[in-house]
């Protein structure tokens, strides 16, 4: 890849709030960001709709947990292959094919609903197919960001990429609440299908050099590449620390979102619009925190950001679980959203900085696999606990366990400082061509 003059995006030694948007100085990144936020907004409309539909059909928190388990489990299956694809083929082409396939899945969900084929099996089956496609998509999506900006603004770009995801998580669920209340479930699936057009258009408009595939004799199988990626990661304490943190995030923190519909209906007794507001609060909290994380936060030690974010996120999950009323729950979710953004963007950046370019997609695939394996298992267990002991006990207990992992990572493991290491042999990052425009 050709080297580019990165001067438009150079960060000062002590970044401030005015530096929070530096990655937007790169045309390719801006196009990708705008397309992604519009597309992910539609995805969040559908994401909020699926548990709503399942709970409407069954009235069971346990079934909501089972659905979440079966929604994310397929991602575990295909993410190693997705990592191999991200390092072997043109990442933009992989993304275009995956987005197009997701359009088909959303339209099939719409067709099933409007034709009254509303069985749990069919809905879960289609959602599972979407999960298989997502597993192929995510490694290329995450690795693609590193092609759009230079090394010195990578944290800023990753943070802004996480911000668009969380901005969509703010707008999407809130929009989803209105759609469910006034238009109906079918429209939620249509909105998601149409929204993929935004990111497809952005990918087509991004200007990149012609992709030249690397010629490798006797290329190892996907399984061998995955094993190689695990061994590679285990030798780097900073990446191991990120893996532990993301397993805790996926298995103990993120399952809280599946319980929103249960809290809205059974705990707080609010309507569909308020249900959407619970999901929107997570995204809004992240949006509020993003100027600090992308600006002054870029000057913090990454280990410090991870420590503060994990403690804040864990405390917020506990706070949501024991919230005495709806307003307190929304406040707790605002804090959780801020913590989630800081944690997710910092973990992603650490891996991007500590991995060789030739291993980028495959290591990200391991990262995604751990997150997506922990999430369905945690969701299934939390749904079962909620069925027996109630949603409050389930969510607050998981939040307390997350705080326990945080304390061990900070005080017991000795791994947290390694997150700050930038390996000097990662020359591949310095040759990325973000301004290829």
Task: Give residue 5's pLDDT band: very low, low, confident or very high (50, 70, 90).
Answer: very low
Q: DSSP states of 31-90 as a string? A: HHHHHHHHHHHHHHHHHHHHHHHHHHHH--HHHHHHHHHHHHHHHHHHHHHHHHHHHHS-
What is the pLDDT, as a whole number, of residue 351?
A: 82
Mean pLDDT, the chain, rounded, equals: 80
What is the separation of C-alpha 287 from the centre of its chain, rounded to a whole number of angstroms?
Answer: 14
Q: What is the mean pLDDT of residues 126-149?
A: 84
What is residue 311's predicted lDDT score, i.e. its pLDDT?
94
Burial class (CB in 10 A: 0-12, 13-18, 19+), 116: exposed
Q: 322 vs 90, which has greater pLDDT?
A: 322
| Predicted confidence band of residue 417 (pLDDT cuts 50, 70, 90) | confident
Name residue, tokens 């990918």.
203
> Two tokens at 109?
């969900």
pLDDT (tens digit, 9 = 90+) per residue, 195-234?
Answer: 999 999 999 998 876 655 555 545 666 677 778 888 888 8
Cβ-based burial of 7 (10 A; exposed 0-12, middle 13-18, buried ≥19): exposed
Worst-scoring range by mean pLDDT, 1-5, 130-134, 364-368, 369-373?
Answer: 1-5
Q: What is the pLDDT of residue 92?
A: 86
Separation of alpha carbons 89 and 158, rounded Å: 22
Query: How confident is the model at residue 437, as a pLDDT?
Result: 34
pTM over 0.85: no
Measured in whole angstroms, the distance separating CA 265 from the mean position of its chain's CA atoms is 26
Q: Which residue has the higher pLDDT, 379 or 402?
A: 402
- Give me the pLDDT at residue 168, please: 79
Tokens of 12: 């000062």
Quick one: pLDDT at residue 395?
A: 93
CA distances from 234 to 190, 228, 230, 418 (A): 43, 10, 6, 13
Which of these ranges, 42-56, 167-181, 265-279, 302-316, has the smallest mean pLDDT?
167-181
Q: State the average pLDDT over residues 93-107.
A: 93
Tell me what the mean pLDDT of segment 384-407 comes to: 92
User: Is the model more confident about 91 or about 318?
Assistant: 318
Question: Can you tell me the distance from the alpha carbon of 319 to that of 221, in angstroms, rounded to the nearest whole number?
Answer: 46
């Amino acid at each position: 890849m050709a080297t580019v003059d990165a001067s438009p995006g150079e960060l000062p030694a002590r970044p401030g709030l005015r530096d929070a948007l530096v990655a937007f100085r790169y045309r390719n990144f801006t196009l990708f960001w705008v397309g992604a936020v519009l597309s992910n907004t539609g995805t969040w409309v559908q994401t909020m709709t699926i548990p709503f539909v399942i709970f409407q059909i069954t009235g069971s928190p346990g079934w909501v947990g089972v659905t979440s388990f079966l929604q994310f489990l397929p991602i575990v299956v295909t993410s190693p292959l997705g990592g191999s694809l991200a390092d072997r083929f043109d990442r933009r082409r992989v993304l275009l094919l995956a987005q197009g396939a997701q359009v088909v899945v959303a339209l099939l969900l719409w067709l099933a609903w409007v034709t009254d084929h509303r069985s749990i099996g069919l809905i879960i089956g289609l959602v599972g197919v979407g999960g298989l496609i997502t597993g192929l998509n995510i490694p290329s999506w995450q690795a693609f960001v590193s092609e759009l900006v230079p090394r010195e603004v990578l944290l800023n770009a990753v943070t802004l990429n996480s911000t668009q995801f969380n901005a969509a998580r703010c707008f999407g669920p809130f929009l989803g609440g209105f759609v469910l209340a006034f238009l109906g479930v079918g429209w939620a699936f249509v909105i998601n299908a149409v929204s993929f057009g935004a990111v497809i258009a952005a990918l087509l408009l991004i200007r990149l050099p012609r992709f030249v595939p690397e010629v490798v004799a006797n290329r190892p199988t996907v399984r061998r590449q995955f094993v190689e990626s695990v061994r590679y990661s285990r030798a780097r304490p900073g990446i191991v620390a990120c893996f532990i943190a993301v397993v805790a995030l996926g298995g103990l923190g993120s399952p809280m979102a599946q319980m929103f519909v249960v809290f809205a209906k059974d705990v707080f007794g609010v309507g569909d619009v308020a249900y959407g507001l619970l999901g929107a609060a997570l995204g809004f909290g992240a949006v509020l925190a993003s100027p600090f994380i992308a600006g002054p936060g870029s000057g913090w030690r990454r280990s410090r950001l991870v420590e503060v974010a994990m403690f804040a996120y864990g405390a917020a999950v506990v706070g949501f679980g024991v919230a005495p009323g709806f307003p307190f729950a929304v406040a707790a979710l605002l804090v959780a959203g801020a913590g989630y953004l800081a944690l997710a963007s910092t973990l992603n950046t650490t891996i991007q900085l500590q991995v060789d370019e030739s291993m980028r997609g495959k290591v990200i695939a391991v990262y995604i696999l751990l997150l997506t394996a922990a999430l369905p298992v945690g969701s299934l267990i939390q749904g079962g606990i909620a069925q027996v002991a109630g949603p409050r006990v389930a969510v607050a207990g998981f939040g307390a366990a997350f705080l326990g992992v945080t304390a061990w990572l900070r005080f017991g493991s000795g791994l947290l400082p390694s997150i700050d290491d930038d390996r000097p042999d990662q020359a591949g990052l310095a040759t990325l061509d973000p301004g290829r425009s």
